[in-house]
Amino acid sequence: MNKRIAVLPGDGIGPEVVGEALALLDVVAELYGHTFHYDYGKIGGHAIDEEGTALPAETVELCGKSDAVLLGAVGGPKWDRGPTHLRPETGLLGLRKALSLYANLRPVKIFPALRDASTLKPEVLEGVDLLIVRELTGGLYFGTPRERRTGPTGLEVVDTLFYTEAEIERILRLGFELARTRRGHLTSVDKANVLESSRVWRETAERLAPEYPDVELTHLLVDNAAMQLVRNPRQFDVLVTENLFGDILSDEAAMISGSIGLLPSGSLGAEGTLGLYEPVHGSAPDIAGQNKANPLATYLSVAMMLRTSLGLPEEADAVERAVACVLEKGVRTGDLAQPGERVWGTREIGAEVRDQLRGGVRHG
Ligand code: NAD
Ligand code: IPM
Ligand code: MN
């Protein structure tokens, strides 16, 4: 199979984890007889430095022509004080919008080998398998006005949480559909006791529910959801929620798996075809350039890409198995190693996963 992948390494640890992910994809290609073409694009801080914009037009064009997009992370202290249009994050938000990637899927699973890696008690984590469906092109991130202005008392500042009913319905429907393919439970997370947008969100979920009689719908206020996620994460199957709520809850949920360095994500477009795959974590400036980053979130994002956008489920399974086996062997980057344990570098754990993939596929 011949596929074109747009590769946007970004900033900080982005190029390190994406570099390892491509080396892994090369092994997938070699073992299964595929050809993956990588077309590199700029986004984020280095694009600001080199092109004067966080999202060059060529990058959007490149992604549009690809079968899938693989992204590292954007951002860093160097660009934190810039005006909005010169912020790395604006590039990522712009790309999501330009590609109409309205749904961001963030699965959270426990690797048995990492039972003790989380800061939560192992018995709370046993068997957790949940999926956060985050609305990605609306909500508080995109509403206007969003500005500073001068009012009667001086500086005023406004952000806007805006949704059309159609946007809410679209993401809720996806939540119902995905719950249907899993354990049949959908938790709609909102703040309907305060926000008008959440009241419409809840009403829309209720209106759709009769169309999905095989799905059990529950509503949860977002503050309670944050608490329930660490109290008893096993109660959840699919959670569907607004953009900012989903951003916050997914970083929280990362600690169920043991590290933010393990959580993958895939963002789907309106036609359900083009997908953008990226780890949930950011550019981690504190460890960038030191061979310390955990590349597994990016590997697992690659597995999502293989399965969802490239139609290669067997290859996706093989990548996930290789990651699980390497963890079983006790191989850990610093974010997961217990005190006194050996710490593997980004490149060294990368080599282990590639060897495991080769061995696993050759020996069935
Ligand atoms: P972060 O996710 O970059 O880092 C949070 C903490 O987790 C840090 O201590 C970091 O070292 C650690 N960490 C993250 N990924 C890791 C990995 N793969 N392996 C080991 N440790 C890892 O969040 P932050 O520090 O709040 O943000 C840093 C920058 O990244 C900011 O500019 C932010 O805007 C940006 N960011 C980008 C994305 C993205 O591109 N999708 C996501 C989140 C944050
Ligand atoms: C994420 C990140 C982004 C977001 C930032 C970098 C714009 O935190 O992908 O989770 O908030 O969506
Ligand atoms: Mn985030």
Q: Are 69 and 6 in contact (CB under 8 A)?
A: yes
CA 356 – CA 364 distance, rounded (Å): 12
Question: Nearest-CA neighbor of 241 among 279, 204, 282, 283?
Answer: 204
Domain boundaries, the chain: 1-111+258-364, 118-257
Q: Which residues neighbour 301 within 8 Å (Cβ) at sequence distance 6 or greater? A: 21, 70, 264, 265, 266, 277, 278, 279
Per-residue model confidence (pLDDT) at position 272: 59
- Any residues with Cβ below 6 Å from ligand 1, and which? 13, 73-76, 89, 92, 260-261, 278, 281-287, 293-294, 297, 335
| Amino acid occupying residue 308 | T
Q: Do domains 1-111+258-364 and 118-257 have the same CATH topology?
A: yes
Residue whose pair of structure tokens reads 């290609």 in the numeric block? 29
Torsions phi, psi of 252, nearest 5? -65, -45
- Say whether 116 is catalytic: no
- Regions in the chain scoring below 70 on pLDDT: 271-273, 363-364
Yes or no: say if 148 and 97 are a contact pair by the CB < 8 Å rule. no
Spatial CB neighbours of 61, under 8 Å, sequence gap ≥ 6: none
pLDDT at 1: 86
Question: Are the CB atoms for 69 and 9 separated by under 8 Å?
Answer: no
List residues near ligand 2 (CB under 6 A). 75, 89, 92-93, 247, 280, 282
**191 carries an active-site annotation:** yes
Runs of H (alpha helix) within 121-242: 122-125, 165-180, 196-208, 222-231
Cβ atoms of 347 and 337 closer than 8 Å: no
Fold for 1-111+258-364, please state it: Isopropylmalate Dehydrogenase (3.40.718)
Q: Are strands 68-73 and 2-10 parallel, antiparallel or unpaired?
A: parallel
Which residue's CA lies nearest to atom 5 of ligand 2? 89
Q: Which residues contact 295 (CB under 8 A, 6 or more apart)?
A: 16, 17, 20, 21, 261, 333, 346, 349, 350, 353
Q: Which CATH architecture has domain 118-257?
A: 3-Layer(aba) Sandwich (3.40)
pLDDT at position 270: 79
Q: How far is the CA of 6 from the centre of ligand 1 (A)?
A: 22
Residue located nearest, by CA, to atom 12 of ligand 1 = 284
The preferred substitution site among 79, 260, 290, 333 for testing ligand 1, maximizing ligand atoms within 8 Å of CB, is 260
pLDDT at 114: 95
Nearest ligand, measured from the Cα of 140: 2
Which ligand is nearest the CA of 134, by number?
2
Q: Is 89 helix (H, G, I), strand (E, B) or coil?
A: helix
* pLDDT attached to residue 82: 85
pLDDT of residue 273: 59
Our CA dihedral for 160, 161, 165, 170, rounded to 10 degrees, sits at 120
